[in-house]
Amino acid sequence: MKADAVDLSIVDLIGHRLREDIISGRLSPGVQLIEVDIANKYAASRNSIREVLHLLVRDGLATAIRHRGVFVRSFCEGDLQDIYTARRTIQLSAIRSGSAYSPALLDQLADIIAQARQAIEQGKWQDVGTLSLAFHQAQVSVLGSRLIDEFFLNISAQLRLIFTTGPDERIVQKPLWVDWEARIYECLLKGEYNEAESELTAYLDESQQALGRIVRRYEETP
């Protein structure tokens, strides 16, 4: 039992690290996840890495191709509907739950927005995307559910892979999204939850449409 628990913790740890690499943009769609390289990097057994890769495939972040290996997954426009259905369900529930956003959480949201604006000024568009994902991850954390937090991290990783559809992430990351997130934050700060829900609903509708246009433009045709 003890060995199993240790193996499970190693699998979870490496899985989290790889997912963080996807969310931060360090792993892009189409990159091969080579079992032996990952095992050497994390000083883990090949069996543990196989389990990690199996979980990434299960979670929709990787694709296993017979006789070729496991690759970071590419997403298409058809995937957006599923992702945004999940986003609306979780993020709007976080506002409707009636849970008060603590001063610490509000400070975290404000800090993320400030960092995103600085990244825009510096032209670090990949960082802007990472911070946007962090903003929405923090927003749902008010639900206080570890399972929901874990599930939403997976949604964030899938969104990051869609962000990289085009040749330059600046096409996706525009200042208007940070301004919109700032308006959502201001509503939460004032306790205006109906207004926050309206702003977030409009944000999700518009961002889904914008990402859909980008995916259609750059998606490879068979």
Can you list the domains of the chain with their CATH numbers? Answer: 2-72 (1.10.10.10), 77-218 (1.20.120.530)
pLDDT at 8: 52
Closest by CA position to 144, among listed 189, 100, 92: 100
d(CA 50, CA 56): 10
Query: Cα dist. 128→84, 119, 177, 200 in Å?
Result: 20, 6, 10, 18
* Rounded mean pLDDT, 181-192: 96
Higher pLDDT residue, 174 or 87?
Answer: 87
Residue 220: pLDDT band with limits 50, 70, 90: low
pTM listed for this prediction: 0.82
Name every residue whose Cβ is closer than 8 Å to that of residue 67 and which is 6 or more positions away in sequence: none
Residue 6: pLDDT band with limits 50, 70, 90: very low
**12 exposure class (CB count in 10 Å sphere: 0-12, 13-18, 19+):** middle
Question: What whole-number percentage of the chain has pLDDT above 70?
Answer: 95
Q: What is the pLDDT of residues 100-114, one digit of tens each?
A: 899 999 999 999 999
Whole-number average pLDDT of the chain: 89
Residue 3: pLDDT band with limits 50, 70, 90: very low
pLDDT at 221: 45
